[in-house]
Amino acid sequence: QKEVEQNSGPLSVPEGAIASLNCTYSDRVSQSFFWYRQYSGKSPELIMSIYSNGDKEDGRFTAQLNKASQYVSLLIRDSQPSDSATYLCAVIFFSGGYNKLIFGAGTRLAVHP
Amino acid sequence: GAVVSQHPSRVICKSGTSVKIECRSLDFQATTMFWYRQFPKQSLMLMATSNEGSKATYEQGVEKDKFLINHASLTLSTLTVTSAHPEDSSFYICSARDLRQGSAYNSPLHFGNGTRLTVT
């Protein structure tokens, strides 16, 4: 069973703070990991991808990957109210002959002024 | 950047009718497309993998005779919900992988805007 686990939240942080979102996955051989953001009623939009252990930074976002612990995280610095959304962790699993992108349940982030 | 277009964005139909949803990759070719379904306050669940020129592969628990998938060209996949019932009401989202951005093993999926289906 290919699984991606996230805390559903809500995670509430004040404006300007760091929001930390966490994700674990079940398949040790997975190599490709993504964070998507989804606003209510909209389809997901890609924030970041990460493939190697360590940190990857893009603007206010930092993705962290630890393959030994099967753990991925996303840090959002200087959180803004516009960051309020559901953040989906996604992992590529190879199954049934295809590389499939499987999503976690998502963590709802609320940034309050 | 890669663009995936999905149509219609909203559809309301009566129970027992069929609904077709189209998914197009606008600026790249996609031999494989993926169809997801999302119920309120739940995550995206993969329904099936659509393959150009061959049969779709369905995830466990998804009825292939109810959710017909056709991938007739490298830029178009369609999902037909046959004999729709109220429990089929959901947000259906298609996606495709732009292999110009990597391989099937590591490139992200680009999503259409989704279709909100309401069956009355």
Q: What is the pLDDT along chain A (113 residues), one digit of tens a residue?
A: 679 999 888 999 999 999 999 999 998 888 899 999 999 999 999 999 999 999 999 999 999 999 999 999 999 999 999 999 999 999 998 887 888 899 999 999 999 99
Tell me which of A23, A43, A65 to substitute to probe the interface with B (most B C-beta atoms closer than 10 Å): A43
pLDDT band at B1 (very low <50, low <70, confident <90, very high): low
* Residue whose tokens read 């995206």: B44
Q: Cis link prior to B108 (omega < 30° from 0)? A: no
What digits encode the pLDDT tens for the residues B8-35? 999 999 999 999 999 999 988 888 999 9
User: How far does A80 lie from chain B, in Å, by closest CA?
Assistant: 23
Q: Is the preceding omega at residue B8 within 30 degrees of 0, hence cis?
A: yes
Q: Could you write out the DSSP letters of every residue in A52-69?
A: SSEEEEETTEEEEEETTT
Please give the Cα distance from A6 to A89 (Å, whole number). Answer: 7
The B residues from 76 to 105 touching A (CB cutoff 8 Å) are 91, 93, 95, 104-105
Model pLDDT, residue B107: 80
Size of interface A-B (CB pairs under 8 A): 56
**pLDDT at res. B104:** 73
Dihedral of CA B81/B85/B86/B87: which sign? negative
- Which residues from A are below 8 Å from B57, CB to CB? 96-98
**Hey, is B87 helix, strand or coil?**
helix
Say what the pLDDT of residue B13 is: 96
Question: Could you give the CA distance from residue A73 to residue A91 in angstroms, rounded to a whole number?
Answer: 12
Q: By mean pLDDT, which of A15-19, B1-5, B45-49 is the weakest?
A: B1-5
From residue B74, give the alpha-carbon distance in Å to each of B23, B27, B94. 11, 11, 14
In three-state secondary structure terms, B99 is helix
- Rounded to whole angstroms, the Cα distance separating B91 from B42 reads 10
Whole-number mean pLDDT of chain B? 92
